[in-house]
Amino acid sequence: MKEHSLPEGSVYVNAINMKLARIEPGEFIMGSEKGDMDEQPCHRVTIARPFYMGITQVTNAQYERFDPRHRQLRGKLGFSEADDEAVVFVSWHEAAAYCNWLSERDGRPYRLPTEAEWEYACRAGTTTEYSMGKNFARSHYKHQRHSWYPDPVKTKKEFEVVGLSVGEFEPNAWGLYDMHGNVEEWVQDWYGPYEAGDAADPVGRVDGDFKVARGGSHSTEVQYLRSAERMAALPEDKHWMIGFRVVLAQMPKSEALPLSPQVLYQQNVPQAVPTDIEEGPDQKTAYFTEPKVFVKVEPSEKGPFFKHNHFPYIAQTPNGDLLAAWFTTNEESGREMKLVASRLRHGSEEWDEGSVFWDAPDRNMTGGALWNDGSGKLFHICGMGAAGTWGTLVQAVRTSVDNGATWSKAKLMTLEHGVRTMPIPSLFRMSTGALVLSCDAETGSTGGSNVWISDDDGDSWYDAGGLIAGIHAPVVELKDGSLLAYGRGDEIHGRMPRSLSADKGRTWTYSESEFDPIGLGQRAVLRRLREGPLFFASFADDMELHDRTGAVRRVNGLFAAVSYDDGRTWPYKRLVSTDRDGGIWDGGAWTGEFKMDRSHAEPKGYLAMTQGRNGLIHLLSSRIHYSFNLQWILSLSPGMAEESR
């Protein structure tokens, strides 16, 4: 659109009767030293030219003049039914398209505000946490609390839904309503870290994964409504917490900041496949190496790493590295959650220090999987919340063709936030070519799991519809094409449930397994090994094991098992232990300290597993990396006489 002079006057009413307030140029300090890490460093920003900003968020009535089909989404989950309520269930792309439509309709340049313009207008000359002062007025609250909605287990609709009418409360000093709360607001910028130094009309990063959303929302704790608070989401995402408002002005001509710098796990990543990638210990000889700690982070109250590190997943990259990822957080339903990654580089004996893997700011990111498809591509799938809980997830998928040094733009497997969407590190390709991903079907300790299927190599996905017994259920394909799963909870006759599906997860049959049930802080793993048999790892509760002399011992903790008849029997079981008094270990997360000896192994942990091209099995718990080969399991534990030597 051609350059246009701005209208005159303090308020402009445009062609669709939308009111916009004139915001004069000025300076302010952007960010907060008291806030989250991404609000720092504080820096002086100059807004060099005036602009007009919508005095309210765009309403249903205003948006539907552009897209009448959106009326079908009014009242979805109970939110935003009336003409004067803020429009929600609008992606960043749709918000930007609305601005383009409005530009054509009004003959003037409309767009989303830059992040700097938004904070400048929100503060309206103030330097306090909120434009009304140090505290947010309780009279403005719209369910300002931690919310699990629409999770059917933990919430009820009648206690969660609030009205989203715009302009109900007094405006800030510059005449803008609802700059704190009601709904989050998409802005123009890609999300990225701030840089030190003064800036004039900044426009954010040149590219990124997430678009910034500002202002906080209903059903959100009040500290996330501060003037400096930064949230962000994938630009195609849409849900009941995000809307937008418009500005009238040409886009600043400032140069965007470069891409955020690469972090440790992305640095110095060789792209060649090592000639010795298939070399390793003799597969005919039992091999078990001393366990290693792979979670190496220094927790801090403000991050980027926190005290609770949990839910790992792992893959071997095409260049022979091991790449592991997990979440770090203070609370599992906390908005501070982000993903961390570490590499065990090919030929190295120690894992790298952890570095940030992915961070959708102030969104829950529970659940995930890493998978090497065997043709040079890595898949990363993780949960992406609308808010701070794992009851509002969708699955985000991204891929890498350079051993995890860089990643594609993420795509969402579905736009419907809710349950049946929390990924488990059980992702594989069936013999038919279909991809299978296991997910938790509910947020509680029971309720089952389900599988998502892709018949086009990950371009699109669908929920198969059935229900596996038990949550956190790993899945494997059997030789006849059926699926086998073992879950946590939903016990059958006091044993871990075993689920079978002959129709790609649409229906399942259930029976008791031979394994002990597992509970809080525990997750099993199930995979087919390169050598052909099935591999299973879980946790024993006073389970009987035979050692290699035929003697029976009772064991507790982490064990590995192998089946040569597709899971009908599991004759080979071995405690995953050093088979000696290994002293005291720290399993982190929900595990804490434990002893490792001939009868005791790690008592808890969320397990993940991959097998290297050299045959070594790499088993992760919540903090510890175990490495051994198939022959080590088959050889069983040594007898008492052997151990005493």
Residue 66, domain CATH: 3.90.1580.10
- pLDDT means per 10 residues in the chain (645 residues)? 77 98 98 95 98 98 98 97 98 98 97 98 98 96 94 82 97 98 98 97 98 98 98 98 98 96 97 96 95 96 94 98 98 95 97 98 97 97 96 97 98 95 98 98 92 97 98 98 98 97 98 97 98 98 89 94 97 93 90 93 98 98 98 82 44
* 329 vs 342: CA distance, rounded Å: 16
Q: Is 154 helix (H, G, I), strand (E, B) or coil?
A: coil
Per-residue pLDDT at 636: 80
Q: Which of 195, 230, 248 marks a domain boundary?
A: 248
Structural domain includes residue 424:
no
pLDDT at position 2: 53
Judge contact between 70 and 192, C-beta under 8 A.
no
220 and 142 Cβ atoms separated by less than 8 Å: no
Listed residues 248, 277, 297: the one ending a domain: 248
CB 570, CB 563: distance < 8 Å: yes
Which stretches does DSSP call E strand in 377-467?
Answer: 378-385, 393-400, 411-412, 422-429, 435-440, 449-454, 462-463
What's the pLDDT score for residue 645? Answer: 38
Let me know if residue 394 belongs to a domain: no
> pLDDT value at position 233?
98
Number of domains composing the chain: 2
- Does 504 fall in a domain? no
**Domain for residue 444, yes or no?**
no
pTM for the model: 0.96
DSSP assignment, residue 468? B
Q: Give the number of other Cβ atoms within 10 Å of residue 167's Cβ.
A: 17
Rounded to an integer, what distance in angstroms lies between the CA atom of residue 19 and that of residue 11?
7
Alpha carbons 335 and 329: distance in angstroms, whole number: 8
CA angle centred on 552, ends 633 and 548, rounded to 5° = 40
Structure confidence at residue 80 (pLDDT): 98
pLDDT at 412: 98
Q: Are 583 and 549 in contact (CB under 8 A)?
A: no
The answer to whether residue 40 is domain-embedded is yes
Contact present, 183 and 54 (Cβ < 8 Å) = no
**What residues contact 48, with CB distance under 8 A and at least 6 apart?**
25, 200, 201, 252
Q: What pLDDT does 644 receive?
A: 41
Q: Which two tokens stand for residue 330?
A: 């203070």
Comparing CA positions, the residue from 606, 537, 613, 621 lying closest to residue 372 is: 613
- CA-CA distances (angstroms) from residue 137 to 63, 223, 229? 29, 12, 17
Residue that finishes a domain, picked among 248, 268, 294: 248
Round to whole Å and give the CA distance between 297 and 205. Answer: 27
- Does 448 map to a domain? no
* Enclosing domain of residue 537: 518-645
CA distance 253 to 409: 26
Q: 432-487: per-residue pLDDT in tens?
A: 999 999 999 999 888 899 999 999 999 999 999 999 999 999 999 999 999 999 99
**Structure confidence at residue 3 (pLDDT):** 56
**Residue 341, domain member (yes or no):** no
Q: Considering the domain boundaries, does residue 307 fall inside one?
A: no
Q: Yes or no: say if 598 and 585 are a contact pair by the CB < 8 Å rule.
A: no
